[in-house]
Amino acid sequence: MEISANTQAIAYLISAVLFILALKGLTHPASARRGNYLGMIGMGIAIVATLLGNEVRSYGFIIAGVAAGAVIGSVLAARVQMTAMPQLVAALHSFVGMAAVLVAIGTYLNHDAAGTLNPVMMGELSAGIIIGAITFSGSVVAFAKLQGLVSGAPVKFKGQHLLNAAMAVATVLLGIHFGMTESMASLVLMTLLAFVLGFTLIIPIGGADMPVIISMLNSYSGWAAAATGFTLGNLLLIIVGALVGFSGAILSFIMCRAMNRSIINVVFGGFGSESGGEMSAAGQAAQKGVKSASVDDAIYWMEDANKVIIVPGYGMAVAQAQHALKEMMELLEARGVEVKFAIHPVAGRMPGHMNVLLAEADIPYDHVLEMDEVNPEFPTADVTLVVGANDVVNPAAKSDSSSPIYGMPILDAAKSRQVYFLKRSMSPGYSGVDNLLFYQDNTSLIFGDAKDTIEGMVSALKGGGH
């Protein structure tokens, strides 16, 4: 069976609409799964319509590629740990980037052989290769940092930005030269330089800025698909590329806003590198010392509380403490305590990371509140339990204009009656800023591994409490 170009175009249109509805489904957890299924159907329609079109004639390589990809993809999806989701996503972004590069080169080879190259197409090809290559190597660096293969610390050297800018300009110039002269050498050089650029752009960015980087690379992978769409004159690729590109761009914006930093600052500025000359408010407060507490102290306050708010952060993910938290939540609820979870937009290593981990532990999503919803509730909370979060509850963001995190929206944990921090050590958060909340009169720190501490709380509650 073979379908006409018009039938194929209609099929692509249907598939584009299904993709839009798929994204629309994510408006609410209740409609999200249906949305995902619509996305799968859209993808199925697009692939079948392409295979049935008159351009695809040989199927050997295609069947082999799809079969192998299906097996690898399914195994990855089934096996990945929820805490490793940022790594998986980074890896998948790199695949889209590499696929875009390969498709562009393959298209060049096919058109070169047929003698149908033209300058517009070569310009579009170059765009696809450049964006794809940057997406690929940038995602590889992000993956390596998330997986701990390389240090998450920012790698910086003098003249770095100048070097990157020079390489970017050179890459574009090579693309233009290729478009005008069909020079193979320029094409190869441009491709290699774009790969290098991806590395050097992401390597200076610290591990804790990963939510922004993941979103940015998500966006790039969309633009890479759109550029491929322009090259091939395929409107479906263009539509999907624009949707994905904007999705990533909006997420980057939301993440930056939640840190009160500009995207320029995240991409080019190191964080926590400057040190204030004078002693800051945090430094003065440090002289007051901090109070430490035991598990029993915290239980004493929590078991009779009306409301307990839990603030999870990346430390919860590292300690895998979400399941213990769920058990504690149930024990507290059985005693009539209202338990809520407060999520800061940049908690974790990717957007929405905490929500997925809490969902994994079977914590109902109506217990999990976003920053704007939960902030009015802190003044009426008897206890706030901070599990592996730090900067996102630091009142210095509001009160200390000399602090690097000044102006960042925070969770108002400081306003609750009692605050308990679960911490492994006194080290500051990723911003390198001391947390003023540690020194507040109603704050105590419980030192130790988050999971062990919470399990301790669970057994204390099971044993009848204090």
Partner 1 sequence: MPDTLVALYVFVLACFIGYWVIWGVTPSLHTPLVALTNAISGIIIIGALLVTGLESAGAAAELFGFVAVLLASINVFGGFLVTNRMLAMFKKKDK
Q: Which two tokens stand for residue 451?
A: 């999971």
DSSP labels for 226-252? HHHHHHHT-HHHHHHHHHHHHHHHHHH
In angstroms, what CA-CA distances link 222 with 135, 243, 246? Answer: 10, 7, 8
CB 87, min distance to partner 1, A: 12
The residue from 229, 315, 388, 409 that contacts partner 1 (CB under 8 A) is 229
Residues 277-316 that bind partner 1 (CB under 8 A): none
Residues 17-56 that bind partner 1 (CB under 8 A): 19-20, 22-24, 26-30, 32-33, 35-37, 39-40, 42-43, 46-47, 50-51, 55-56
Q: Angle CA(386)–CA(275)–CA(204) in degrees, nearest 5?
A: 80
CB 352, min distance to partner 1, A: 3
Q: Which residues contact 88 (CB under 8 A, 6 or more apart)?
A: 76, 80
Write the interaction track for partner 1 spanning residues 412-431; mark x where CB under 8 A is met and - where it is not: --------------------
Of the chain, the end-to-end C-alpha distance in Å amounts to 74
The bridge status of strand 368-370 relative to strand 443-447 is unpaired
CB 440, min distance to partner 1, A: 28
Active site (annotated) includes residue 391: yes
CB 59, min distance to partner 1, A: 7
Query: How does 401-423 read in b/e, with b if 16+ C-beta sit within 10 Å?
Result: eebbbeebbbbbbbbbebbbbbb
What element of type H or E holds 336?
A: none
Cross-strand bridge partners of residue 339: 308
Task: Classify 287 as helix, strand or coil.
Answer: coil
Q: Does 100 bind partner 1 (CB under 8 A)?
A: yes
Residues 54-93 that bind partner 1 (CB under 8 A): 55-59, 61-62, 64-66, 68-70, 72-74, 76-78, 80, 82, 85, 88-89, 92-93
Query: 206, 271 in Cβ contact below 8 A?
Result: yes
CB 38, min distance to partner 1, A: 10
CB 235, min distance to partner 1, A: 5
Q: Does 113 bind partner 1 (CB under 8 A)?
A: yes
The residue from 95, 199, 430, 447 that contacts partner 1 (CB under 8 A) is 95
Nearer to partner 1, 298 or 411 (CB): 411
CB 237, min distance to partner 1, A: 6
Nearer to partner 1, 38 or 454 (CB): 38
Provide the 8-state DSSP code for 4: -
Residues 336-365 that bind partner 1 (CB under 8 A): 343, 345, 350-353, 355-356, 359-360, 362, 364-365
CB 278, min distance to partner 1, A: 38
As a 3-state breakdown, the chain gives helix, strand, coil percent values, each rounded to 5, of: 65, 5, 25
Nearer to partner 1, 195 or 438 (CB): 195
* Cα–Cα distance measured from residue 41 to residue 421, given in angstroms and rounded to the nearest whole number: 46
Among residues 292, 255, 245, the alpha carbon closest in space to that of 443 is found at 292
The residue from 243, 267, 411, 460 that contacts partner 1 (CB under 8 A) is 243
Q: Does 106 bind partner 1 (CB under 8 A)?
A: yes
List the catalytic residue out of 297, 362, 382, 391: 391
* Cα–Cα distance measured from residue 124 to residue 333, given in angstroms and rounded to the nearest whole number: 59
Among residues 345, 400, 403, the alpha carbon closest in space to that of 369 is found at 345
Nearer to partner 1, 57 or 158 (CB): 57
Nearer to partner 1, 243 or 305 (CB): 243
Residues 245-264 that bind partner 1 (CB under 8 A): 245-248, 250-251, 254
In angstroms, what CA-CA distances link 59 with 253, 341, 366, 409? Answer: 42, 51, 48, 54
The stretch near partner 1 (CB under 8 A) out of 98-106, 177-185, 287-295, 304-312 is 98-106
Q: Which two tokens stand for residue 304?
A: 């009779």
Residues designated as active site: 391
